[in-house]
Structure 1
Amino acid sequence: MKNFLLLPLLLLTALPLFSQQLSTREMDRINWMEFAEFVPEKINTVLLPTGTLEPHGVVNNGADNTAPFAMAKDIADELNAMIAPTLNYGITGSMAAYPGAFQISEEAYAPFIRDILKGLAKNKFKNIIILNGHGGGQTAVLQKVAGEIANELGVRTLVINWWSYASDVTMEVFKEDGGHAGLNETAYIQAIDPSLVHKEKYDADMATAYPKNGTYSAVPFPSSIGLYQEGQGYPNFDEAQAKEYFQKVNAKVAALIKETIRKWDKAGL
């Protein structure tokens, strides 16, 4: 009888715990009242996925957007972070001529990303983590602007090129180097959504090794798959390896973010 009477009391005391649960970590899906309840008192970290639209062999043109957004969704809970809407357009370089590609100039991109970062700081995020899905000149712009915003507004910024930072994971899982739309990136997309991978369209001739510095330059780049090393990085479409790669890359990136924030905090920055 006593246990029966205690049950309603236990349920009532549990209600506040349920009300503390976020409905979503995606900033464009949350309402302003819930946002105000959690940021910055309970959440002060935000993940900003950035990418572009350009050819990626037999995976989607938006792979550079698909990858960092999926990464953000996978690690946001672990990091207690919100996810900002993905910046889907970027500074596409030598593949801009391919169908479906978009090229945003640095003159337009730099002030736009600056205002996005300023907006995240205005919304009281202390840790602004850019999960970048596209390299080339875009990396330099992101690093420059993020550094300036950190110093100007007193926030803390981190820019991560996931495929580069996780290059050791590529070697661990595949035993060889990868490439743009190569073995590693194709596997990462395959783990996210196999329907975005069109193996039936694959031809090894779609891949070309990137030239060594100073040897030659071709624009447009002659292949939609760019290999980092000659003879390595051709997609293999192995489902088990794709899943393993996705999990290990995300774990490595999450660990970097947690360790960076820990050291920022310890230094009192």
Structure 2
Amino acid sequence: MDFKARHEGMKWATSVGRHALVSLLMTIQWRSPMPGMRYQEMLPHELEAVLRATPVAYFPLGTLEYHGPHLAIGNDALKAEGLCERACTRTGGVLVPTLYWGIGGGHKEYPASLIVRDQLLSDLLDEVLSGLYRVGFRVIVLVTGHYPGEQVSAVKGAAERFAQAHPDARIWALPEYEAYPHERRADHAAKWETSILMALRPELVDMSRLVGADAPHAPDATHTLEEMNAPGPLHGILGENPARYASPRLGEETVEVIVDHLVSWVNRALAEIRTER
């Protein structure tokens, strides 16, 4: 074999080895055992093992709507998903695919907003919860990051119907701010939502898009829908000016408290159903 042939052979072997290594690393990354797993990525035997050990389902909900120029359109659902994922990693269980279809709120006519009918959401929640019980989940947490009155009523109503039909299960349905006991850390694309997404998904926040919001003449906050809808640097934002008051540190502190309360409730619920078995 001449030098050129040997050289080409070594290049081919190196390439094959590199691809094999990449394949192995991807397998380890995506299939490595972990306390919490995504439902849609599980193999049947993995789901069966989780149901035997920790029959917990985390179900994040949100919507697709305008959240100012600086936050991702799916902020509400992404926020709920990030909180549930952190809690699931600590308690074990399964992360159910996030529901991006929500109802209500004052942003239906804003760019990029996709809002569905109220009854559609209620019916879908009833079906999904019934299915989760049939599969074998006995502790269910619904976290909605979208929380106009219509959405919260629909989510809590579905949980109440489920609890009445299945007294041997435990269910908690809440907007995420209810798991923060010290104050109501809720707004729309303002100080709190911006801070939380900074902590959970910083790559989906671009504060440079808040043009003029950090100027001296910019409002310190918006308090009404009229103020939110008014043209200006806080258009589409309801709450304290995120350019002045939002921060990753504030977001991380909020996330930690919320996740701690989710984990505490799940652990109590698991203890209860194990005692009753």
State the shift of 1:44 in Å. Answer: 1.1
Work out whether 1:200 is the aligned partner of 2:213.
Answer: no
Q: Deviations over 1:119-141 (max 9, x none)?
A: 10111101111011111111101
Opposite residue 259 of structure 2, the aligned amino acid is N
User: What is the aligned counterpart of 2:92 among 80, 91, 101?
Assistant: 80
- Equivalent residues, number: 233
SS at match of 1:37: helix
Return the alpha-carbon distance in structure 1 between the equivalents of residues 152 and 102 of structure 2. 10
- SS of structure 1 residue aligned to 2:124: helix
Aligned residue among 95, 103, 107 for 1:95: 107
1:162 aligned to 2:176? yes
What's the CA shift for 1:265? 6.0
The answer to whether the Cα contact below 8 Å between 1:178 and 1:233 also exists between their aligned partners in 2 is: no
Q: Name which of 234, 249, 268 aligns with 2:258.
A: 249
Structure 1: state its 5+ residue gaps: 1-19, 171-176, 212-216
Look up the match of 2:9: none
Q: Residue 74 of structure 1: CA displacement? A: 0.9
**Structure 1 match to 2:4:** none
Query: Per-residue displacement from partner, 1:20-60 (whole Å, max 9, x unpaired)?
Result: 94586110111123212331x11211100011011212211
**Are 2:52 and 1:52 aligned?**
no
Alignment partner, residue 161 of structure 2? 148
Query: How far is 1:255 from its partner?
Result: 2.5
* Aligned CA distance change for structure 1 residues 261 and 233 (closer, same or farther; 3 Å): farther
Q: Residue 180 of structure 1: SS of its match in structure 2?
A: coil
Contact 1:113 1:145 in 2 (8 A): yes
Residues 201, 160 of structure 1: CA spacing in aligned structure 2 closer, same or farther, 3 A cutoff? same
2:39 pairs, out of 11, 27, 32, with 27
**Which moves more between the two structures, 141-150 or 201-210?**
201-210
Matched residues, percent identical?
17
Higher helix share: 2
Distance 1:206 1:81 in 2: 44
Q: For residues 240 and 156 of structure 1, do their structure 2 counterparts lie closer, same or farther at Cα, with a shift above 3 Å needed?
A: closer
Please give the per-residue CA displacement for 1:226-265, whole angstroms capped at 9, x wherever unaligned: 12xxxx4544343333333332332233224334554666
Q: CA deviation at 1:146?
A: 1.2
Distance 2:94 2:55 in 1: 8
Instruction: Report the TM-score when normalising by structure 1.
Output: 0.76
> Is the Cα–Cα contact under 8 Å of residues 61 and 143 in structure 2 kept in the other structure?
yes
Partner of residue 191 from structure 1, selected from 178, 185, 199: 199
* Cα separation, partners in 2 of 1:103 and 1:263, compared to 1, 3 Å: same
- Quick check: 1:207–1:234 contact (8 Å CA) kept in 2? no
Letter in 2 for 1:109: L
Distance across 2 between alignment mates of 1:103 and 1:239: 29
Question: CA 1:23–1:126 in structure 2 vs 1: closer, same or farther (change >3 Å)?
Answer: closer
Match of 1:104 among 100, 112, 116: 116
- CA-CA distance at 1:103 after TM superposition: 0.9
Q: What's 2:140 paired with?
A: 128
User: What is the identity, as a one-letter code, of the residue corresponding to 2:173?
Assistant: V
Deviates more, 1:20-29 or 1:195-204: 20-29
